[in-house]
Amino acid sequence: MTTTADSRRATKVAQSLTLDNLEKTYSSRGRATFHAVKGIDLHIEPGELVALLGPSGCGKTTTLRMIAGLETVSSGEILIGDRKISQLAPGKRGVGVGFESYALYPPLSVRDNLSYGLKARKVAGADELVATIARRLEMEDLLDLRPAGLSSGQKQRVALARALVRNPPVLLLDEPLSHLDASARQRVRRELKMLQREFGYTTIVVTHDQVEALSLADRLAVMDGGIIQQYGTPDEVFDDPANIFVAEFVGEPQINMFDGIVRLENGSAVVSVGSAGNLPVSTRNVVEGQSVRVGVRPQDMTMVPGPAGHRQIAVHVKHFEHLMEFGLVQVNTAEAESTGSGSKLMVQTPAHERFAAGDECAATAPPERVYLFDPETGNRLR
Q: Which residues bind ligand ATP (CB under 6 A)?
A: 26, 33-34, 36, 54, 56-62, 208
In whole angstroms, the minimum distance from the beta carbon of 207 to ligand ATP comes to 8
In whole angstroms, the minimum distance from the beta carbon of 71 to ligand ATP comes to 8
327-339 core/surface letters (b: 16 or more CB in 10 A; e: else):
bbbbbbbbbbbee
In whole angstroms, the minimum distance from the beta carbon of 96 to ligand ATP comes to 19
Whole-angstrom distance, CA of residue 113 vs CA of residue 148: 12
Residue 172 or 195 with smaller CB distance to ligand ATP:
172
Residue 3 or 33 with smaller CB distance to ligand ATP:
33
Residue 224 or 300 with smaller CB distance to ligand ATP:
224
In whole angstroms, the minimum distance from the beta carbon of 206 to ligand ATP comes to 6
**Residues 37, 41, 45, CA angle at the centre, nearest 5°?**
130
Residue 64 or 269 with smaller CB distance to ligand ATP:
64
Q: How far apart are the first and last CA of the chain?
A: 54
Whole-angstrom distance, CA of residue 343 vs CA of residue 296: 12
- The residue type found at 345 is L
In whole angstroms, the minimum distance from the beta carbon of 87 to ligand ATP comes to 20
Residue 171 or 308 with smaller CB distance to ligand ATP:
171
In whole angstroms, the minimum distance from the beta carbon of 175 to ligand ATP comes to 7
Residue 173 or 262 with smaller CB distance to ligand ATP:
173
